[in-house]
Amino acid sequence: MRFKGFLILIGSIFAVSCGGPKQKGPSDTLTSGELTIAADETYRPIIEAQKAVFDSSFPDAHVTIKYQSEAACIQDFLDEKTRLILVPRDLTADEKKYCEGKKIVPSSLAVARDAIAVIVSNKSTDSLLAIAQLKGILTGEYPKKYTVVFDNSGSSTLRFIQDSLMQGRQLGANVFAAKSNEAVVDYVAKNENAIGFVGFSYVNAGNTADQQWTDQVRVVAVEDPKTGEFHQPYQAYIALQSYPFTRDLYYVKSETYPGLGTGFANFLATERGQLIFKTAMFFPLRSNIVIKDAAITHKPVN
């Protein structure tokens, strides 16, 4: 009887150990599953173009993109609400230290370069603006009174202009937020004395043969402080950073396994994603592109 009882006891333990709850692994892969990511709103047109091709290539992948301000994207990443963000800067040293304290392992890569465009109404007589003029306009000290419009107070556009152009100087009482890049374009189009700062995607028509701007507003040529020359944000000037307001688009991710966030990030950095950036007149940073000077010789007509 003792032998029989021993067999029953061992059998019961075996049944419990085999029938216990199993540990779940990741439910997504590089090309399948569901994921919500956050992206800077100033990149919406180009990111939507990337997502359309990614979706058609990988029908089992379901990526939802939450478009918001740069500040909100960074905060969502730090709060572990998303594993992938697309923003125009890398994490700061303090942000990386915060991640380390929360056992978040971030990795990042710059995948493309674009610009912040300066726009005025088609009725405006302004087509060239020097750096000193822009500073005066933004502080409200310029003789011609402009209403200056950004998308919102937490945007990457405003942060970039404050860091690179204003460098500690206060913005004037003539500076306002319009809530979105589309609203900035619309306001400037309807107001002759307005000037706006928007993401490049919102004014670029994206034609590789002959780059065109939207017909709603005029894109101003801005002074290159190194040479004194004036440039619009054409692709070559963005690549060479001759246009002064250029910036890089980064992906920042926290996945430590080959999941859907990594799959989408890889797509942006490899051949097809880089080609989409190039076609949209961004400068792709993960492709080998040669820029050549072209000389035009005028021959006399007989």
CATH number of residue 91's parent domain: 3.40.190.10
Cα-Cα-Cα-Cα dihedral of 271, 274, 280, 281, to 10°?
-120
DSSP element (H, E) containing 108: strand 107-120
Q: Note the pLDDT of residue 7.
A: 41
Domain that holds residue 55: 33-113+247-284
pTM, to two decimals: 0.85
The string over 11-26, giving b where at least 16 C-beta atoms fall within 10 Å of a residue's C-beta and e elsewhere, is eeeeeeeeeeeeeeee
Same domain, 137 and 196: yes
Using 50 as the pLDDT threshold, list the residues of the chain that sit under it.
1-19, 295-298, 300-302
Same domain, 216 and 131: yes
Same domain, 209 and 154: yes
Same domain, 88 and 231: no
DSSP element (H, E) containing 262: helix 260-269
Q: Note the pLDDT of residue 184.
A: 96
Could you tell me which of 187, 201, 219, 200 has the C-alpha nearest to residue 120?
Answer: 219
Q: Tell me the pLDDT tens digit for each residue of 209-244.
A: 566 788 999 999 999 999 999 999 999 999 999 999
Q: Note the pLDDT of residue 289.
A: 64
Same domain, 208 and 270: no
What is the tally of structural domains in the chain? 2
Is residue 7 domain-resident? Answer: no
Q: Note the pLDDT of residue 190.
A: 95
Same domain, 103 and 119: no
Amino acid at 149: V
Q: Are 109 and 84 in contact (CB under 8 A)?
A: no
Same domain, 174 and 99: no
Helix ranges restricted to H, 191-247: 235-240
Is residue 239 domain-resident? Answer: yes
